[in-house]
Chain A
Amino acid sequence: MAMLNMAKALNLALREALAENDKAIILGQDVGYDEGVFRITEGLLKQFGEERVVDFPVAESAIIGLAIGLCVTGYTPICEMQFSGFGYHGFHQIESHATRLRNRTRGRFTCPMVIRMPYGGGIRAIEHHSESRETIWAHLPGMKVVIPSGPRNARALLRASIQDPDPVMFYEPKASYRAFREEVPDEPETMEIGKAQVVREGNDVTIISYGASMRPVLEAAEELEEDHGIDAELIDLLSLVPLDRDTINASVRKTGRCVVVHEAPKHIGPAAEVVAGIVEDSLLYLEAPIERVTGYDLVLPFFNSELPFMPDVRKVISATQKVLSF
């Protein structure tokens, strides 16, 4: 067991992948000699060489497009978009080919690629470096969307994503890269994609979130218990596609109340899908309308103003109180 932050844990998963799978190739801007602008690929070029850890020209569409060709020829590309805000150049190749190659060739060709990109606000970054746009990717048929929240699940889920036979958008909460450390097992640990985790058991209300928003949610849960005697159950979705409706239903049926939290804009966001699922499966168990704590339907303001526009402890607490006082 080692105490690692998320950046180091991701690095560990990548190192393991390159060692275990000699077809695995990391490609992205500045992933080699610079070791990634967030140092996620630290030491990898040194250990595995320029053919396995490839510094790419500034061309995101080419990173994805060439990765598709690598997939077709039997390789396992692990793509890095430097920031999620620059992943859109890759959108066309992802939507037009990566997510549908399996279907249109009836399984003859597949795209077992991973696309890693850091997302989210709160790190005082300049324009285009702070958005949460997971909804876009989660809407594409054929694309899995995995979003870790801590070092241990980041490592285990990245391993699983690299091993997955289909394209996986691995959306990394950059505000959590170095926020805290956690014990990460020495032996290669893999988590099943598509399973949410109940990270705190409770009986009064279910709070559902993922990624960077798990931190204010966890803090809010503690405060709710200490200051208000409210016993919240917390679910960390860990993946948006597939979405673990079983875990959600079991919890909501127990508590009858629910709050969903994310940084992404509200409109047609992940919370809307979660709530729709609850309404379809567990409506009659509900004892109060569900609350959403999300980003606003705005471009996240530049960093001097961004914080009040993001979910925080106070917003989660007041939404939870509202759900409980219904």
Chain B
Amino acid sequence: MPRKKITLENTIDSLSILDEKGKVDKKLEPKLSKDDLLKLFRAMTLARRYDERMLKLQRQGRIGTYGPALGQEAASLGPAFAIDESDWYVPSFREPAGMLYRGWPMARLMLWWGGNEIGATPLPKMNDMPISVPVASQIQYGAGIAWGLKLDGGDRVAVAFVGDGGTSEGDFHEGLNCAAAFGLPLVVVIQNNHWAISLPRHKQSASKTLAQKAIAYGIDGIQTDGNDILAMVEATREAVAKARKGGGPTLIEAVTYRMGVHTTADDPTKYRKDEEVEPWKPKDPLVRFWKYISDKGVLDEAGREQMEKEVTAQISEAVEASESYEPNLMEPFDHCFAERTPALEQQRAQFEAYLNGNGNGKASGSAPVSHSAVH
């Protein structure tokens, strides 16, 4: 009964393809058509301008608290781009870039932050879960979705997102452990933006990297430059290809940075120095990708201006659509159960009477509002 060493495979890769100066590593450069590059650039631009507009809308009191994803566009977009429509996208709350790319109507995202359930309602054919606030919870149902896909027998995969803070939750561990034990086609992307509200990454976990947690589960882990859209596309492509062939889950740690507030209710000056943010500014995912595609001649200044105009128009349209939406106050009684319980039937009648006596008449007894405006 000697004491022996158990040797573990314990390295993880770190991947960076497009550096902050916009210089690409030719050997690693993923295959992307001109059309793909344009799509990616447009999606990143759209997400950036959306975020900026949302912050304005919040300041004007036109939506509620908002959690921006400024500077994290590549980390959520790359995986969305690398999967198919028939695959599943399981976001947390800092993935507007990926969600918009997947086809969420922008107006719906605005309505979510404006306090309306229609904002959590995917379009009928979308394989997308809605925004999820309870940190890390989505890793568990993401694993369940991957399980369902595996049982279906096809080669579809699920991609689920979590933050660096979320890796501390039991949900993260339990979900990943089970996904690994069952060999599920799940890709988990950690958006390591270095902060969980006020807790810096190094106080969140003693692990040198978050990707290395994969080793303990017996799966592959990779750390990527999360602000490098090419690395995000490439890392997800590899993970997805492996999962499609029955190779099980992968953990991707996208190293990025939370450029702004946690949410608009947060004041980062209380816990983080501006100096810490500075070095991340040149690492902006849009800046380097613009350099890359303009150097390649995919888009010129005029083309970019035109794109910006289109994006602005699209956002304004979404603002208008979201602001013309009126919730139907009776609707919650229709969606608690498939069939109302006797108690809910009674409460519904009481609520209707209350609304009718209310005098504000807002939605009392009115016909359900069509959702077409927010498609």
Residues of chain A having any CB pair with chain B under 8 Å:
29-30, 32-35, 37, 55-62, 85-86, 89, 124-129, 266-267, 296-299, 301-306, 308-309, 314-315, 318
Contact = CB atoms under 8 A, between A and B. Distances in A.
Interface string B323-350: 0000101001100100001011001000
Contact of B333 (A267, A298, A303): A298
A45 to B, nearest CB: 10
Given A296-B351, A308-B358, A58 B115 contact: no
B115 A303 contact: yes
B136 A58 contact: yes
B170 A59 contact: yes
A319 to B, nearest CB: 10
Interface in B163-187: 165-166, 168-171
Contact of A266 (B131, B203, B343): B343
B228 to A, nearest CB: 26
Contacts of B204: 57-58
Contacts of B166: 58
B327 A62 contact: no
A198 B309 CA distance: 63
Contacts of A37: 197, 265-266
List the 9 closest pairs (A to B, CB-CB), nearest first: A303-B115, A304-B115, A34-B198, A57-B168, A58-B165, A33-B271, A302-B115, A59-B168, A30-B198
B57 interface: no
Contacts of B134: 85-86, 128
Residue picked from B171, B332, B333, most chain A C-beta under 10 Å: B332
A266 B348 CA distance: 13
A67 to B, nearest CB: 16
Contacts of B133: 126-129
Nearest to B137: A89
B116 A266 contact: no
A145 to B, nearest CB: 22
Residue picked from A35, A302, A315, A318, most chain B C-beta under 10 Å: A302
A226 B205 CA distance: 60
A57 B165 contact: yes
B205 A30 contact: no
B332 A305 contact: yes
A308 B270 contact: no
Contact of A267 (B112, B170, B198, B343): B343
Contacts of A305: 115-116, 327, 329, 332
A266 B133 CA distance: 26
A89 B170 contact: yes
Given A32-B198, A37-B265, A55-B199, A125 B170 contact: no
B177 to A, nearest CB: 15
